[in-house]
A and B are shown apart, each in its own frame.
Chain A
Amino acid sequence: MTIESRASSDEKKVIIDIRGRFDFSQISQFRSSYESHNKDAEYTVDLRQTEHIDSSALGMLLNMRSYLGGDKAKIKIVNCSPGIMKIFEISRFDKKFTIS
């Protein structure tokens, strides 16, 4: 599995790990990784093992954000490599997501 999600026992926190490529090839896997959990949970997308992303990944993250309530969604993107961070900054994703 290249995308794995796990929730804390109270279902209030969900961590989604993404390995290898993060692009449209993961589209349905990625969607089910958050649709299978509570909408109001705190989501953490862990990119520690993500090797590359493209604009379709950004689209998928935006889909996730609107599914979870838009501005009310609690999504953190963590463990970005400097290169991925740069891509998020260029696309101004740092304004929409908490990125570290």
Chain B
Amino acid sequence: MEILVAEDEAYCRKRLVMELEDVGHVCHVAENGAVALELWRENKPDMILMDLLMPVMDGLAASKAIKKEQAGVHVPLIFLTALSDEEELAQSLEVGDDFLVKPINFNILRAKIKAHERILILNRQVLLQNKELEYFRSRVHQEYDMTRHLMEASQKSSDRNVPGIDTRCTAVSFFNGDLVLLYEKWDGGAYFLIGDFTGHGLAASVGSIPVTQAFRTMSKRNLSVGEIVRELNLILKRLLPDTMFFCATAGEINQARSRIELWCGGLPDAYLLGERNQIHRVIKSTHMPLGVMEDKEFEADTEIVPLTEADRLIFTTDGVTECANAEGDMFGEESLVKALRHSKGSLISTVLQAIYEFNSALQDDLSLIEITCSEKGIAPDDAEEEISHEDDGVIGIPAISMQFEWQPPQLKSGDPLMIVRQWLNRHMAIRENKEVVFMVISELFNNALEHGVLGLSSERKNEDNGFENYYQLRQESLQSLKDGWVRLGLRISSRLPINLTIEVTDSGQGISPGNLDLEDNDDTFGRGLPMVNAVCQQLEFNIDNWQVRAVIDLNH
């Protein structure tokens, strides 16, 4: 160790240095307090031996200055003194850590140095560990912040402001594994999910990231509730450890708010309230939570509940019924039902108020969804995004022409028109009318193929089982087809009003117009061309070259 020795008496100083160097210490030597302070600043020794009575600056003053400057670092300080006044000795220990009375007994000095060295080592270890702890603490904090950001960002993909649907999931409940998701459909309907991962804290909530992502993707794809929960179960079964699962209720409500489809796995009862808060229905969980069952055992069957305008629904996680007060009593289902039945205004506020009265400390760990059926979803607007155009009606997209030709090998393929749909789907004006456009193309193509190329007659559909026999025959004739073709020409205009011209020719005798009036009958056939006629601006049959031409207006 490096030891600072401050002693004004030369003999005593030499003796001390000799003794200390003998046992391997390095000494910095000062003959008064002022020099001692200088040396301490320069060398930062591990320990200090300080005579109390010295000229220029005495030991006590020097020690006070040193202690003031060392800030937080422990440097053992032993006073050497000839004093025997108990009062003064006691006072010196307010600054120093120990004292030794002169004449110095070197055995005791060595023993004291050893003892203080042990304390010093201990002290340095604690300091080091504190530093490490501080480092880990800040790292955990950083990681927590990062995870929090990730989870909050992923939760932002949940919709808000869906008419008639009110949700609540506080940050605290979210970080304890609660999840509330809402997704508004294009047609004004909505998907929702409320759930609760087992466990508490950050670990419980990590499962919410894949669930949020998958729920959003599947909602966008317009999947059914049954398919959504099946997929979520698969994801969670794969990701979560066996001890962890996700109690959840998933649902879809239509735009008119007249029908709700539900899958309930493991959450407490939900309630359907009618007029005057009468509980019309208790919606019970009928399934195991998500992430428990293997896919083949998983039950995705849903319940469809018809709704009226007066209906309201409330879904909660078990944070609501299981929250306890200071006496350890749980809020419970009875209190929940009682609160709901006496609700004035929003059900969520009613429940929160009741829980606040029950235990004011528990406000933050609750997740709820309320649906008010009198507020309809927003139906899609007919005048959606319009294709921008110049004043003279010329649009920014060029005119497009495409020609398709099918020979027997292509005609025999499973879905010959798939390629046409794939190309056309890329055009915005077509996409907005795709069902009608594809219907027209499909009718004209199939007419050309069945009547022109294959020579089938629709009369056959009139017989017993004719409809199916016809398609059976179509299949057989198609399989044995050796010659023949169907050609399809498409042209999309570059001028408003945008229209699509469809021309179909075939190697046979083409299409005959027949009766183009739509008749309200129960016949399973004869609807194709009349439907085409009804949606097209023009429909022309050119018997001379077996061609049919249809023009569809794409502006509405």
Residues of A within 8 A of B (CB): 6, 8-9, 13, 17, 21, 23-25, 27-28, 31, 44, 46, 48-49, 51-56, 58-60, 62-63, 65-66, 70, 79, 81-84, 86-87, 90-92, 95-96, 100
- Whether B158 sits at the interface, judged by CB under 8 Å, is no
Contacting pair A54 B443 (CB below 8 A):
yes
Give the complex CA separation of A27 and B221 in angstroms. 25
Contacting pair A90 B471 (CB below 8 A):
no
Contacting pair B471 A53 (CB below 8 A):
no
**Interchain residue pairs A-B with the least CB separation, the first 5:** A83-B435, A59-B524, A55-B528, A52-B438, A54-B442
Which residues on B sit within 8 Å (CB–CB) of A91? 518, 527, 531
Nearest A residue to B445 by beta-carbon distance? A54
Give the complex CA separation of A27 and B466 in angstroms. 13
Which residues on B sit within 8 Å (CB–CB) of A21? 415
Contacting pair B439 A59 (CB below 8 A):
no
Given known contacts A6-B301, A87-B435, A82 and B380 CB-to-CB distance under 8 angstroms: yes
Give the complex CA separation of A8 and B421 in angstroms. 36
Chain B window 296-330, contacts with chain A (Cβ cutoff 8 Å), 1 for yes, 0 for no: 00000100100000000000000000000000000
Which residues on A sit within 8 Å (CB–CB) of B433? 83
Which residues on A sit within 8 Å (CB–CB) of B304? 13, 44
Contacting pair A8 B471 (CB below 8 A):
no
Give the complex CA separation of A51 and B523 in angstroms. 24
Task: Given contacts A13-B304, A46-B224, list 11 more A-B pairs with CB under 8 A.
Answer: A25-B414, A27-B468, A51-B438, A52-B439, A55-B527, A82-B380, A83-B434, A84-B435, A87-B436, A91-B518, A92-B520
Given known contacts A25-B415, A63-B524, A53 and B468 CB-to-CB distance under 8 angstroms: no
Residues of B within 8 A of A (CB): 187, 221-224, 226, 254, 256, 301, 304, 380, 414-415, 421, 433-436, 438-439, 442-443, 446, 461, 467-468, 471, 474, 518, 520, 522-525, 527-528, 531, 534-535
Distance in angstroms from B436 CB to nearest chain A CB is 6
Give the complex CA separation of A60 and B471 in angstroms. 11
Given known contacts A90-B534, A92-B520, A53 and B439 CB-to-CB distance under 8 angstroms: yes
Contact of A86 among B415, B436, B527 (CB under 8 A): B436
Contacting pair B528 A17 (CB below 8 A):
no
Give the complex CA separation of A29 and B188 in angstroms. 31
Give the complex CA separation of A54 and B415 in angstroms. 13
Distance in angstroms from B418 CB to nearest chain A CB is 9
Give the complex CA separation of A56 and B472 in angstroms. 13
Interface-centre pick from B415, B435, B534, B535 (highest chain A CB count, 10 A) = B435
**Can you offer 11 A-B residue contacts whose CB atoms are under 8 A?**
A6-B226, A8-B301, A25-B415, A51-B421, A55-B527, A60-B467, A70-B522, A81-B435, A82-B187, A84-B435, A100-B256
Nearest B residue to A89 by beta-carbon distance? B534
Which residues on A sit within 8 Å (CB–CB) of B436? 83, 86-87
Contacting pair A58 B301 (CB below 8 A):
no
Nearest A residue to B440 by beta-carbon distance? A54
Contacting pair A49 B528 (CB below 8 A):
no
Give the complex CA separation of A44 and B261 in angstroms. 13
Contacting pair B528 A24 (CB below 8 A):
no
Nearest A residue to B521 by beta-carbon distance? A62
